[in-house]
Amino acid sequence: MSILISVIVYTTYTKEVDALDIKLLDEMRICSFDLKCKEFTIGFADKNKKEVYRLYKEQGRGVIAYFPILKSQNNLLSISFSNKQYIERQYLIKIELLKEFIPILISIILFSILFSLYTLSPLRRSLRLTEEFVKDILHDFNTPLASLRLNSSMLKREIGENRKISRMEGNIENILSLQDNLRCYLFDHEMQQESFLLIDFIQNSVEAIEKSYQHITYKVDIPSTFKIRTNKKAFGRIIDNLLSNASKYNKHNGKVEIIYQNRQLIISDTGKGIKETKRVFQRFYKEQDRGIGVGLHIVKKLCDELKIGIELESQVGVGSRFILTLRI
C-alpha cells in the first residue's frame, strides 16, 4: 500500500507540474498582448527553428515561450520565466502534496502494524503452546528411556551379548541423540566458555560412538597439548553429529579420520558422499531415508553461535570432509 501511495503521489505531482506549465503558457500568451507582466522577462529572438505558442525548458534560462510579432517576418517575441521561480513553484507543489499524503501514509503504516499484530497473535500463541508441548514431551521421554536403558543392561547381564539387545541399545541411543538435537532448537543454552584439551574431548566422543560401529576404523591425529576455548556442550553436539553421520553413512569396513592442522579440525569419512553440498545445512534436507534432516542444520547453527567456520567437501561414492576452523 505504501508503494501504491508513492505511485499515486508521483502521478499527481506529474499532473500538477503539467498543469503549472499550461498555466504559465496561458499567462505568457496574455502577456504577449499587453506586455504588462512583471514576473516575466520579455525579449526578441530569431524566427528560425522556433515554434510559437509552445513552452520550452532551457537549462540556465528557465521556461520560455515564443509568440509572433505583428508585421515581423524574421523575429519573434520571447517571454521567459526564470529557472529559480520555476523551481520554487515546483517545490510548493511538492510541499502541498506531502501535506496531504504523509498523514495518509502514516495512517496506513500504523493500521498495517496493528492489523499484523492482531492477525499474527493467534499464530504466535499456537506456536508457543506447541513449543511448550514439545518441551514437556522431551522431559517426559527421560523416564521411559531411562527404564529402557536399565532393562536392556539387566537383560544383557542375564543372557549375555545378544544381537537384538545391541540393536535395541542402538535405537535408544538414536532417540537420545534426537532428543538432544530437539533441545538445541527449543532451549536456550548459555554460551559459557571453558578451556579443554581437544585430544581428550575427541577421543571420548570417538570411544562413545565406536561401540555402535565396530566395523568402522577411527583415526585421531591431534596434538596432545592443544587446547581450545569454547562452549563444551555445544561443541560436543557439533562433534557428535558429525561423527554420527560419518559413521552412519559409511561403507562396511570404512574409515573415519579426525585430524587437526593449521587451526582446522577435519573430519573425513569413506562414506556415500553428498550430492547437494550447498543444501546439506538446510533444515529437513536429507539425501538418505534415515534421519529427519536436522542434524547438520543444528551443526551449522551451533557453529555460527560459537564463531566456528564450517566447510564441506564431498564426492559421491568416495566420501566427505567437514572442515571446522576453530577459534583458539
Domain ranges of the chain: 2-81, 192-325
pLDDT band at 138 (very low <50, low <70, confident <90, very high): low
Q: Comparing 47 with 309, which gets the higher pLDDT?
A: 309
Highest mean predicted confidence (pLDDT) among 11-25, 154-168, 278-292? 11-25
- Please report the pLDDT score of residue 48 as a whole number: 77
Q: 40 to each of 43, 85, 320, how far by Cα in Å? A: 10, 10, 80
> Where do the DSSP E strands lie in 82-230?
194-197, 217-221, 227-230
Q: 100 to each of 110, 111, 265, how far by Cα in Å? A: 17, 18, 63
Tell me: pLDDT of 190 over 70: no
pLDDT band at 239 (very low <50, low <70, confident <90, very high): very high
The CATH number of the structural domain formed by 192-325 is: 3.30.565.10
- Please report the pLDDT score of residue 309 as a whole number: 93
Contacts of 80 (CB under 8 A, 6+ apart): 40, 41, 43, 61, 62, 63, 64, 65
- For the ranges 39-48, 78-87, 175-184, 271-280, the lowest mean pLDDT is seen at 175-184
- Please report where in the chains the cell 587446547 appears, as a residue: 227
Record the cell numbers describing residue 49, joined without a space. 527553428
Tell me: pLDDT of 187 over 60: no
Query: What would the mean pLDDT of 261-273 be, rounded to a whole number?
Result: 91
* Arithmetic mean of pLDDT over the chain: 84
